[in-house]
Structure 1
Amino acid sequence: MRFSVRLNNDLPLREYARLARAAEAAGFDQIWVSHDLFLRSAPVLLATMLQATERIAVGSGVLNPYTLHPAEIAMLAATLDELSGGRFLLGLAAGAANFLEWIGVRQERPLGTTRQAIRAIRAVLAGEPVPGWGPEAYLRFPACLVPIYLGAMSPGMLRLAGELADGVLPLLFPPEHFATVAPLIAEGAARAGRSLDEIDLAACVWCSIADDRDEAEAVLRDKIAYYGSAFSPLILERFGLTRADFEAIDRALQVERDPARARRLVTESMLQIGLVGTPEAILPRLERLVEMGARHLSFGPPLGPDPVAAIELLGRAVLPHFGRR
């Protein structure tokens, strides 16, 4: 079994070194940080976490080729890999179309654009020419191939992950969505003559954990309120929801600027998107994931009212349950 922690890039900078050290001490294999627009810059956070740790792998979860050119992504990956002594993991995805619209960027041809980005980044890291780029397009310092993890949710992107990626970061809404995700990745892998066993499939769940259920639930409600309208129709259908169900929440957040009201509008059905409560409360759904074939459990934000305490709780009560001491 493999275990990882995922963080949003919305915390004070000083927190990331502390969180990375806590994850390493708790026995996690990887820690990831997002690069969502208009929050803190993930490259800075990644460097901070790498310099604060010695063993744990640190990954970008995720960069996209629309706001950052593949050449710059390759430069960043090579530099962070050098800084870390080989512990950096490159998380890549097409990004969320509605967030890209904030800055007037259209998410055109997401599958083709992502495929081209993966191939270009690998070529640059390997010192090979990139089709369509000039002969001057090469790194001026030695680099290694960095593992590329694809953030994927749509069937097409999941198949692409199976075809090309070293690992996959599928957001599982709900966690049981793993049963749909794994066959699609396996299909893409088979198309490329690969096996699913060759791919690090991280079962990425949202988890808010604390000894106090109400405190844990409030944090998950805030997360769902912020991102709910960006969920794909496929995800919403699983809960009998539509994007219209999030209109009042969006209005409370964006127009009324009332996060407390937005939190109250999150329904019990919406809460099933993630895991919430004490370690004992979330174990049954995690066990079902493992029964379905998950070999990498990835715990993502909000984690809990106190993220460090949540990481420590997971290390004490959840990882040992699955054999990690």
Structure 2
Amino acid sequence: MTVSLRLNNDVESSALLDLARAAESAGFDQLWVSNDLMIRSAPVLLGALATATSRIELGIGIANPYTVHPAEIAMMAATMQELSGGRFRLGLAAGAAEFLGWVGISQPTPLTTTREAFRAIKALLDGGRPVDVPGTGSGWAEEAYLRVPPVPTPISIGAMSPKMVAFAAQEADGVLALLFPPEHFTVVREQVETAAAEVGRDLADFDLPACVWLSVDDDQEVADRALAHKLAYYGSAFSPYLLTRAGLSRGDFAGIDASLRAGDPEGAADQVTPAMLRLGISGDPDAVVSRCLSLIESGVEHLSFGPPLGADPVAAVELIGETVLPRLTGVTV
């Protein structure tokens, strides 16, 4: 069983270092940092984390080819591999159209753009030239290659739509599919298996984490409140496809969005319903273990816990390490 931790780049730098050290001590295998627009730079944060840790793998989740050119993404990945001693993992995706709109960037052809970027980045990291690889788009010249030694790097695709999941299954090393609700894992796994079979691909080394939002605390209400704030901020940006699977729609978040626009985050959190809370996992350690075990029974081999984690993230990571992971990592299906 692989266990990973996902953190947002809204965490203060010094606090992120504390969380990384706590995650490594708690026994997590991987640590991923988001790169949401207009907050902190994930590549800079990961550079600091690479020097503050020694064992845990480090990933960016995600880089996107709309705000950063694939050549620079490859440069960043190669440098991170060098700095971390080969512990870096790259997450690549199209990004959220709503957030890209904040900076005046449109998102036409997200699947095509992501596929072309992936192929170019992979070629560069493997020591090749994008110009020699079909499906990398136009504009690459013979001179476009990295002037550093080849650094093959695991690349996972951030995906929510079935088509993006299928692309990841056929070409990438893994897929980062946010699961709202967590039980959506079985659907994603089926999509991955079907797409891989179409091209005759063996998925033995394919990384398919169950990426869930987690909030844990000895007090159920405290855990739920932390998750409610997270859902209030991001809920309306979720894919309609995923919300529908949970019996929800973007319209259900209209009142929440209005409260946020009015500068009332507490009022927004008050409107998060029990059905919305089921989009993630929250509760005391026993409740968290129970829901995670049901995921493992459905075939999950990699559990990936994302924020809010809890009211006190460092304490939550330590609590997970002490009371949750020991009851999960030895489980076999």
Q: If the TM-score is normalised by the length of the shorter chain, which range does it land in?
A: over 0.9
Are 1:291 and 2:297 counterparts? yes
2:68 is matched with which residue? 68
Letter in 1 for 2:317: I
% identical aligned pairs = 56
Matched residue of 1:196: which SS?
Answer: coil
Checking the alignment, whether the CA contact within 8 Å between 2:127 and 2:151 is kept in structure 1 is no
- Which whole-Å CA distance do the structure 2 matches of 1:129 and 1:6 have between them? 32
- Which whole-Å CA distance do the structure 2 matches of 1:143 and 1:48 have between them? 23
Q: Report deviation, 1:282.
A: 1.4
TM-superposition CA deviations, 1:43-90 (whole Å, max 9, x none): 111111111100000000111111111000000000000000100000
Give the structure-1-normalised TM-score.
0.97
Are 1:155 and 2:162 counterparts? yes
Are 1:119 and 2:125 counterparts? no
Aligned residues: 324
Letter in 2 for 1:279: P
- Which whole-Å CA distance do the structure 2 matches of 1:44 and 1:268 have between them? 37
Matched residue of 2:308: which SS?
Answer: strand
Matched residue of 2:130: which SS?
Answer: coil
1:41 is matched with which residue? 41
- Which whole-Å CA distance do the structure 2 matches of 1:8 and 1:123 have between them? 29
TM-superposition CA deviations, 1:281-304 (whole Å, max 9, x none): 112221111111110000001111
- Which whole-Å CA distance do the structure 1 matches of 2:93 and 2:55 have between them? 25
TM-superposition CA deviations, 1:242-276 (whole Å, max 9, x none): 2111111111112x111111111111111110000
Are 1:217 and 2:224 counterparts? yes
Are 1:323 and 2:329 counterparts? yes
1:12 is matched with which residue? 12
Are 1:309 and 2:320 counterparts? no
Checking the alignment, whether the CA contact within 8 Å between 1:16 and 1:48 is kept in structure 2 is no
Checking the alignment, whether the CA contact within 8 Å between 1:9 and 1:42 is kept in structure 2 is yes
- Which whole-Å CA distance do the structure 1 matches of 2:285 and 2:329 have between them? 15
Checking the alignment, whether the CA contact within 8 Å between 2:177 and 2:210 is kept in structure 1 is yes
- Which whole-Å CA distance do the structure 2 matches of 1:245 and 1:269 have between them? 11
Checking the alignment, whether the CA contact within 8 Å between 1:175 and 1:285 is kept in structure 2 is no
Are 1:87 and 2:87 counterparts? yes
- Which whole-Å CA distance do the structure 2 matches of 1:267 and 1:177 have between them? 19
Q: Report deviation, 1:196.
A: 2.9
Letter in 2 for 1:68: V
Checking the alignment, whether the CA contact within 8 Å between 2:166 and 2:191 is kept in structure 1 is yes
- Which whole-Å CA distance do the structure 1 matches of 2:124 and 2:67 have between them? 19
Q: Which runs of 5+ in 2 are unaligned?
A: 132-137
Letter in 2 for 1:36: D
Checking the alignment, whether the CA contact within 8 Å between 1:206 and 1:302 is kept in structure 2 is yes
- Which whole-Å CA distance do the structure 2 matches of 1:7 and 1:105 have between them? 25
What is the CA RMSD across the aligned residues, in angstroms? 1.3
Give the structure-2-normalised TM-score.
0.95
Moved more, 213-222 or 231-240: 231-240
1:263 is matched with which residue? 269
Relative distance call for 1:323 and 1:260 in structure 2 (3 A) is closer
Q: Report deviation, 1:216.
A: 1.3
- Which whole-Å CA distance do the structure 2 matches of 1:323 and 1:141 have between them? 38
Q: Which runs of 4+ in 1 moved over 4 A?
A: none
Counting only pairs closer than 5 Å after superposition, residues 145-184 of structure 1 correspond to structure 2 as 145-184=152-191
Letter in 2 for 1:217: D
Are 1:191 and 2:198 counterparts? yes
Q: Which runs of 5+ in 1 are unaligned?
A: none
TM-superposition CA deviations, 1:161-219 (whole Å, max 9, x none): 10111111111111100111101011222223212332011110100011111111111
- Which whole-Å CA distance do the structure 2 matches of 1:239 and 1:149 have between them? 25
